[in-house]
Structure 1
Amino acid sequence: MSTHVEEDERAKPAAVDGDEDDDTPALSAQALAALREFLSEQGSGGGGEDSEEVKLVAEDWRLSQFWYDKETAETVAEEILRLCKSSTSAPCTVACIACPTLYVYLKRISPDISAQLLEYDKRFEQYGDDFMFYDYNQPEELPLALKHTCQVVVADPPYLSKECLEKVAQTISFLANPQSSFLLLLTGEMQKERALKLLNAHPCGFRPQHSNKLGNEFRLFTNYNPAERLGGWETIE
C-alpha cells in the first residue's frame, strides 16, 4: 500500500480519467495475464505458492510508499473476499484506493474477483484495465461508470493529514454503493476521530504491519461491525 507518512511539497497533476465504458470494470484477459506473469516471477523464493510472500515493485520513498507485510495483506484480503461472498449485489466490485499490496493479494487468492486499483504510481499500469491513475487532490475525477458501483472499498490515504482524509472520503463516497457497501480504512492511529466523523469508521483490534517498520502506529477502521473477526471493534475513549 501507499502509506505516506507526511505531506511532501511536490505538486501532483490532476488525475486523468480512464475509459468511461458503460459496463462495470472487470478483470480483463490482459490484466489477468500480467498478474499471473508477475506472480510466477515470485516463485524463486522457495516453498509452495501459498507460503510465498508477494513482492511488489520497489518502494519509492519519494512517494512515501511502504508495503504491508504478508500477514496484514492476507488478513485484509481474506476479509474483503468474505464481504464479497456475503454481498447481496452480484457481481461484487472492489475498489482499492492507493493500496496495491491488497489488490495483488486479492487477485492472487481470487483471480476472477472484480477489483479496481486507484493509484498515483504509474508503474502499476502493468495491471491493464484494472489500473486507474488516481490523484487524491482530484477526488471525484473518476469515470462515471464507477460511480456508486462498489460494494467494498478499501483505502489507504496517501498522507496522514486532515485534508488528505477529507478528500479520500469524497472518493469513497463517489465509489461506494449507497444501498450496500463495506469500507475498510487503513491509516494512522492519529486519524481515529476523523475516521469516525467523516466515514463512521471504527478502529478494529487488528493492527496492520508493514514490511519496513514505521514510526507511526497504523490501524484498521471499518464502517461495519466485524464481530469476532479483525479483533472486533474497539471503543474510542
Structure 2
Amino acid sequence: MSDSDDDIPQLSAATLAALQEFYTEERDGLVQSTIPVDKYSVGAVEEDWRMSQFWYSDETATRLVEEVIQEAGKGGRIACLSAPSVYQKLKQGVVEGSDGVSAVVLEYDRRFATYGQEFIFYDYNEPLALPEDVAPQSFDIVLADPPYLSEECLNKVAQTVKYLAKGKVLLCTGEPRIAVSGLGLVPFSILHTTLNSYTYQNDMLLSAAFYLISFVLSTTPSGAIMEGHAEKLMGLKICSFLPKHNKNLANEFRCFTNYTSNLMS
C-alpha cells in the first residue's frame, strides 16, 4: 500500500454491512411499491396491446360489475369472456353484492392463470374448446368483450357465448375508425355513408380510389354494422351507456344486451 492510499478514508466492516443493509431495504421497498398489494387490482396484470388488451376505466368496470351482479342474482354465476378488468373489479369485493356471486375469467393470456380455477384458457379461434367441467348454459350472465373488432371474431365469440349462457348476455365492442387528413379519426360508418353519396365521373383515378375505399369500408364492421351482427347472432340491442378505457381509445365502444338493462337509459 502506498503512502497516498493511507490518506483515503476507509470504512469499517460494520459500517459497510450497515450501508449494504440500508441499500437492500431501499431496493426491496422500491420493488414492493411497484407491485399492487391486491392481486385483483386492475393493472396487477399489465395490458398488452399486442394481444389487443385494453383495460376499462375504474368507473366503467364498476358500472359493468354492478350490472352483472344485479342480473346474475344472489348465488348467480358470471362469465367474463375476454374482459379481465371486469373480473378483477368484481373480485375486489368493493361492489355491493359481489360476495353473493361467483365468477370466472376466460382469457387467452395465461398470465391470468394466477387466478387458479377461476381462470379458463380461451382462444376465440376455437370457440368451443373449453374444459369438460364447463357445462353448457351454466352461467346466469355472460359478459363478453371480443378481442378483435371483426365480424369473424364476433361470430366465433357468439358461439362461445351461446354455449355458456343460460340466457342473459352483455356484449361490449367498438366501432373501428379510419384516419382522414384534416378530420382526424372518423367512424367507418360515417365515411361509408359519405362516400356512397358522391360520384367522381370527371376523375376516373379519384373515382377508382374512392370506390376502393368504399369497398373496404363496406366490408369492415362499423358500429352500425356490428350492431346488426350482434342482433342477428345473439338478439342483442344497443345500450346508451358508453364504456371507457384507462387509455383513451379512438374507437367508440358500446354495450349490447338481450334483456332490458339499466345500461339502456
Question: Quick check: TM above 0.5?
Answer: yes
Query: Matches of residues 34-73 of structure 1 in structure 2 within 5 Å?
Result: 41-42=37-38, 54-73=42-61
- The Cα offsets for residues 95-154 of structure 1, whole Å up to 9 and x where unpaired, read as 110000010111123246221110000110110000011000000011243211111100
> Is the Cα–Cα contact under 8 Å of residues 156 and 187 in structure 1 kept in the other structure?
yes
TM-score normalised over the length of structure 2: 0.63
Runs of 4+ in 1 over 3 A off after TM superposition: none
- What letter corresponds to residue 169 of structure 2 in structure 1? L
SS at match of 1:183: strand
The worse-fitting range, judged by mean Cα deviation, of 134-143 and 101-110 is 101-110
Q: Which residue of 1 aligns with 2:128?
A: 140
Candidates 203, 211, 230, aligned match of 2:263? 230
Q: SS in structure 1 opposite 2:78? A: strand
- What is the TM-score of this pair, normalised by structure 1? 0.70
Q: Using a 3 Å threshold, how does the CA distance of structure 1 residues 40 and 67 change in structure 2: closer, same or farther?
A: closer
3-state SS of 1:205 partner: coil
Q: Does 1:128 align with 2:116?
A: yes
For residues 66-85 of structure 1, the aligned pairs below 5 Å read: 66-85=54-73
Per the alignment, residue 161 of structure 1 pairs with: 150
Question: Could you tell me which of 102, 105, 108 is aligned with 2:86?
Answer: 102
**Contact conserved, 1:186 with 1:219, CA < 8 A, in 2?**
yes
Give the letter aligned to residue 77 of structure 2. T
| Bigger RCO (CA 8 Å, 6+ sep) | 1
Partner of 2:218: none
**Letter matched to residue 245 of structure 2:** H
The structure with more strand, counted as a fraction of residues:
2
Q: How many residues align?
A: 176
Root-mean-square deviation (Å): 1.9
Show structure 1 runs of 5+ residues with no match: 1-38, 44-52, 233-237
CA contact (8 A) 2:76 2:100 kept: no
> For the structure 1 residues 161 and 121, does the alpha-carbon distance in structure 2 shift closer, same or farther, using more than 3 Å as the test?
same
Q: Using the alignment, how far apart are the partners of 1:104 and 1:210 within structure 2? A: 15
User: How many Å apart are 1:92 and its aligned residue?
Assistant: 1.5
Deviations for 1:40-92, whole angstroms, at most 9, x for unmatched residues? 7159xxxxxxxxx7433111111121100011000010011111227xxxx41
CA deviation vs aligned residue, 1:164-188 (integer Å, no higher than 9, x gap): 00000000111112xxx21100001
Is 1:198 the counterpart of 2:233? The answer is yes
* CA contact 2:42–2:55 (8 Å) conserved in 1: no
Match of residue 172, structure 2, among 171, 186, 204: 186
**Which of 135, 140, 148 is 1:151 aligned to?**
140
1-side partners of 2:227 and 2:38: how far apart?
A: 36
Higher helix fraction (1 or 2): 2
Stretches of structure 2 that go unaligned for 5 or more consecutive residues are 1-34, 176-222
CA distance in 1 between counterparts of 2:164 and 2:102 reads: 14
Partner of 2:182: none
The offset of 1:224, in angstroms, is: 0.4
Q: Distance in 2 between matches of 1:139 and 1:42?
A: 31
Q: For residues 103 and 112 of structure 1, what CA distance do their matches in structure 2 show?
A: 14
